[in-house]
């Protein structure tokens, strides 16, 4: 049985996600039209969706009643 490599994240998910988005947007703008640019744009859209889901899950309506 293999063991998972685990480590604690030092930065919150939102920070890491927004850093990725900024870097990906810059790479997409610099790259010429083609397959690689389209892949990067799809990854950007996926990251935006992840940010929306994370914000939704962290909303006050999603907390358990006290």
Tens-place pLDDT, residues 10-52: 999 899 999 999 999 999 999 999 999 999 999 999 999 999 9
The count of structural domains within the chain is 1
Q: Which two tokens stand for residue 10?
A: 């030092």
On whether residue 6 sits in a domain, the answer given is no
Containing structural domain, residue 35 = 13-59
Q: In whole angstroms, how far apart are CA 52 and each of 33, 48, 57?
A: 27, 6, 9
Asked, for residue 24, whether it belongs to a domain, the answer is yes
25 occurs within a structural domain: yes
**Residue 3 domain flag:** no
Is 4 among the domain residues?
Answer: no
pLDDT at 2: 79
pTM beyond 0.85, yes or no: no
Q: Compute the half-sphere exposure of residue 40: CA atoms within 13 Å on the CB side of its CA.
A: 18
- Residue 8 in any domain: the answer is no
Position 66 scores a pLDDT of: 64
Those residues whose C-beta lies under 8 Å from the C-beta of residue 56, and which sit 6 or more positions away, are 62
Task: Report yes or no: 21 and 40 within 8 Å, Cβ to Cβ.
Answer: no
Q: How confident is the model at residue 5 (pLDDT cuts 50, 70, 90)?
A: confident
């Amino acid at each position: 049985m293999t063991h998972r490599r685990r480590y604690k994240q030092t930065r919150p998910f939102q920070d890491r996600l927004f850093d990725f988005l900024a870097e990906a947007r810059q790479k997409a703008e610099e790259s010429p039209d083609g397959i690689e640019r389209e892949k990067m744009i799809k990854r950007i859209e996926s990251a935006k969706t992840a940010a929306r889901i994370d914000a939704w899950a962290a909303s006050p309506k999603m907390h358990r009643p006290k």
